[in-house]
Structure 1
Amino acid sequence: MSIDVLPAAPPERPVVSESRRRFAGFLWAALSVCIFSGWFVVTRFSVTHELRIWDIMALRFGIGGVLLLPFLVGRKAALPRGAWREGLLFAVLWGAPFVFLVGLGLQLTSAAQASAISPALMPVFAGLLAWPALREAPGRWRLTGYLVIVIGLAALVIGNARIHGWPDPYGIALLVGAGLTWAIYTLLFRSSGLTSLQAGALICFWSAVIYVPLYLWFGLSRLGSASLPELAFQLIYQGVLMSVVATIAFNRAVTLLGAAAATAIIALLPVIVTTLAVPVLGEIPSWLGGIAVVVIAAGVFMAARPAPADPSSSRSAIQSEN
């Protein structure tokens, strides 16, 4: 009669699915990082040449809104009224206003600074906001990571100031604001009932509905002054890769890995962007700026590292189940 212990075997299945889930999450996160990294360089190039941030926003959300609209309308895609309101809030946090903050910040600073400040501060803001809002108190490891990030950011600003002069404080403030809105969005999306595709589609829809008419009404377009190859490239990168692929990839990473692990992968952004900015934009960092980028990335990894599970507690839980 003691053979009744056999039903304890099934728990092995979740272990396999958990490992596959995390692997898929890392793949989605890596895809989003690759596209985000190129976006800082591509957008910096455009806003300092023919196009303006207004054009970047119109291409990104106008094209993205059209491509993702079928996922919001129709019988199968029908969303409750509350989801549309939630999507509007997401669009305010990570839609057109976010792109405006980063784009203008890029125009006033550099690709390396923008990619370091906004993505690096995002997990700091997320951790500090989750403390009172979600009762998730950060441990010593994360608090140390936050401190390392702040030190790295200060070193980055000082290092670049020696070569390019002190950055525009208004540009820095815009990038800090972008990191804050990104953090709030990440926390809210994690607890929302929307899928990655639905959240991305709603962000593009609301951004397009609110922004594109204003863009056309006030005659902000400079698309005619850009060359056809640049326009086609921006249309694909901003409208397809950023609005559709990167947004869905980041949302999937947050869903599969959690906000902390997903933001850890984003820590690679400053390193990749700084590397790309050298041949594409001619932005050569100082030795102090280069070290600061690595320090910031290390600090974000520390801050976003999930709390280790207590092996004794997990062992006792398994024993109690048996």
Structure 2
Amino acid sequence: MSSKMQGYLFVLISMCIWGGFTIFSRLNAQWHISAWDITALRFALAFIILMPILIYRKQTAFLWKKEPFILAMLGGLAYCLTAYSAFNFAPAAHAAIFLNGCIPLCTALAAYFLFRQPFDRHIWLSLIIMMVSIAVMTYLLSQQSAHPFGLGDGLFFLSAIWWGTFTVLLRQSSLTAWQAMCSVAIWSALIYIPIYLLFLPKHLDQAEWSHIVIQSLFHGVLVVIVATLTYVEAIKRLGAFKTGSIVTLAPFIAAIIAVPLLNEPLSLAIVCGLLGMGIGALQPWRWFRRSIV
């Protein structure tokens, strides 16, 4: 298999997992697994898998630096707690718009405020498209309700801010993909699990064991470990823009799948939001530039 074909295989795996994240996170609300519980399950299982590997390979030194801890607090705990909580208040389509659609924008804003990286014309064009789509969606939703947006939408946008900041700091760090992934999983577990066990509410007794096992394996193994590694391998073979563009499609596809699968509504307003945020995030006009790798 050629390097390019390997890249498409890796990006397909990442895409399936990222799309599944939207569906499985929404299922948590139906399966009575709270954001506190799924965050604990996610990082506990990843810790149990990864820590023995690092100890065996004597590769724990990088964990005790400042960078791994900061990345874990942003891309691990803060992101997970707000994103998982948001799915209890908003449908999957809203996640595609306010979380995944806003991540490129929040990443660009974080790069500007933290490192003074200017916006190029592609970012400005994306920003205009996103703002127009949100304005149209807001108008259409306001015709149906006096309060078109809720707590879930705000939490999704806050999650996009956490992930955008995490992405920018990760790019500036000296950590490899393996080290970054281990840092997020291990430090998140070390900080969060004791707090969860001692102080936070637990509702796992209300969920079925089969659901707990499914969610633990999906979020703790596929999302934390597999998707991170396949995404990085895809970037090496296809380039950052093409890989990011393909993977960004996954949550939007998941939002469409959620309509029949989870019986979620898909109004004209949400369709406008999905299309606008999807175009703004993907920047399809750049696909036709010869400089893209």
Residue identity matched to 1:243: V
Deviation at 1:275, TM superposition (A): 1.6
CA distance in 1, matches of 2:276, 2:143: 19
Tell me, yes or no, if the aligned pair for 1:158 and 1:166 is still in contact at 8 Å: no
CA deviation vs aligned residue, 1:113-138 (integer Å, no higher than 9, x gap):
01221111111122233346555433
Shift of 1:218: 2.4
**Residue of structure 1 aligned with 2:19, choices 32, 37, 49:** 37
Give the match for residue 302 of structure 1: 283
Q: Match for 1:43: what amino acid?
A: S
SS in 2 for 1:267: helix
SS at match of 1:283: coil
CA gap of 1:309–1:117, structure 2 versus 1, over 3 A, is: same
1:60: how far off? Answer: 0.7
Aligned in 2, Cα 1:31/1:304: closer, same or farther, shift over 3 Å?
Answer: farther
> Cα deviations across residues 118-176 of structure 1 (Å, max 9, x unaligned)?
11111112223334655543332331112112222344455566668745543222211
**Residues 138 and 206 (structure 1 numbering): CA distance in 2 closer, same or farther, change over 3 Å?**
same
The correspondence of residues 179-190 of structure 1 with structure 2, limited to 5 A, is 179-190=160-171
Give 2:132's aligned residue.
Answer: 151
Secondary structure in 1 matching 2:82? helix
- The alignment of Structure 1 onto Structure 2 pairs a total of residues equal to 291
- Give the CA deviation at 1:265: 2.9
SS of equivalent residue, structure 1 residue 72: helix
Displacement after TM superposition at 1:213 (Å): 1.1
| Structure 1 segment 64-79 matched on structure 2, within 5 A | 64-79=46-61
- The alignment yields a C-alpha RMSD, in angstroms, of 3.0
- 8 Å Cα contact 1:94/1:185 also seen in 2: yes
Q: Which residue of 2 aligns with 1:284?
A: 265
Per the normalisation by structure 2, the TM-score is 0.85
Q: Is the 8 A contact 1:261 1:304 kept in 2?
A: no
Percent identical across equivalent pairs?
27
Segments of 5+ residues of structure 1 without an aligned counterpart are 1-18, 311-322
Contact 1:31-1:246 within 8 A present in 2 as well: yes
Q: Indicate if the aligned counterparts of 1:190 and 1:258 stay in contact, CA closer than 8 A.
A: no
Within the candidate set 86, 100, 103, 1:122 is matched to 103
- In 2 relative to 1, CA 114–203 (structure 1 residues): closer, same or farther, beyond 3 Å? same
Q: 1:278 to 1:259 in 2, by over 3 A?
A: same
Q: Distance in 2 between matches of 1:257 and 1:191?
A: 21
Supply the distance in 2 between the matched residues of 1:281 and 1:161 (Cα, whole angstroms). 24
Q: Corresponding residue for 2:202?
A: 221
Q: Does 1:85 align with 2:66?
A: yes
1:40, distance to aligned residue in structure 2 (A): 1.4
Partner of 2:93: 112
- Alpha carbons of structure 1 residues 104 and 39: separation in structure 2 relative to 1, 3 Å: same
| TM-score, normalised relative to structure 1 | 0.78
Q: How far apart, CA to CA, are the structure 2 residues paired with 1:73 and 1:166?
A: 52
Q: How does 1:2-81 map onto structure 2 within 5 Å?
A: 20=3, 24-80=6-62
- 8 A Cα contact 2:8 2:234, kept in partner: yes
Describe the shift of the 1:192–1:173 C-alpha distance in structure 2 as closer, same or farther (beyond 3 A).
same
CA distance in 2, matches of 1:156, 1:266: 24
Q: Is 2:63–2:183's contact at 8 Å kept on the other side of the alignment?
A: no
| Distance 1:26-1:189 versus aligned 2 partners, 3 A rule | farther
RCO (CA 8 Å, sep 6+): is it higher in 1 or 2? 2
* 3-state secondary structure, aligned to 1:224: helix
Question: Aligned equivalents of 1:187 and 1:290: distance in 2?
Answer: 30
Q: Offset of 1:61 from its aligned partner?
A: 0.6
Q: CA offset at residue 203 of structure 1?
A: 0.5
Structure of greater Rg:
1
